[in-house]
Amino acid sequence: MIGSCLCGAVKFEAKVDKLKIYQCHCTLCRKQTGTASSCGAIVNLDDLVWVSGENNISKWEKCTGFTSHFCTTCGSSVPNKFKNSPYYWAPAGLIESDDIEVAANIFVCDAAKWSKVSTKTNPFETRPEVEELIALLCAKNA
Ligand SMILES: [Zn+2]
Ligand SMILES: [Zn+2]
């Protein structure tokens, strides 16, 4: 599956047949994406290959450790490595495929009151253990 940013400078390939993603409804993701929830996949380091633009990525880090990686040219959110596990987080909206399925929802207690985004699938009040999330999303890749 190919993913690319708004301007096309950043391009990557996720070497998976189907992507399971989670939606995060926290207030930080809301600010970062400008939408009700972020939609992200978790991809093994070996399964994500940069096609172009890896050197065109900027990073902003909040004092709490929350980071935002984005295309320097167009500002699209782009894949970035998890800090303590061998996976990439990859924004689902960049991926040019419909073989994407929501497998979990996190921080559902923070969901915007106005949001109509469903939080029904495997909801977690806050943040589950990374391993638990990976088990839900990457079972097929393991
Ligand atoms: Zn771009
Ligand atoms: Zn979040």
Q: Is the pLDDT of residue 58 over 90?
A: yes
Predicted confidence (pLDDT) per residue in 84-140, tens digit = 889 999 999 999 999 999 999 999 999 999 999 999 999 999 999 999 999 999 865
Of the chain, the percentage scoring pLDDT greater than 70 comes to: 97
CA 134 / ligand 2 centre spacing (Å): 16
Dihedrals phi, psi of 36, to nearest 5 degrees = -70, -30
CA 94 / ligand 1 centre spacing (Å): 10
Cα separation, 92 vs 85, whole angstroms: 19
Query: Per-domain residue ranges for the chain?
Result: 2-141
Q: Which residue has the higher pLDDT, 37 or 140?
A: 37
Predicted confidence (pLDDT) per residue in 9-36, tens digit = 999 999 999 999 999 999 999 999 999 9
Taking CA atoms, 89 is separated from 1, 5, 32, 41, 113, in Å, by: 15, 15, 14, 6, 26
Ligand nearest to the CA of 57: 1
pLDDT of residue 140: 55
CA 32 / ligand 2 centre spacing (Å): 9
CATH (residue range 2-141): 2.170.150.70
pLDDT of residue 142: 44
Kindly indicate the confidence band of residue 55, based on its pLDDT and cuts at 50, 70 and 90: very high
Enter the DSSP assignment of 92.
G
Q: List, as ranges, residues with CB under 5 A of the ion ligand 2.
A: 24, 26, 29
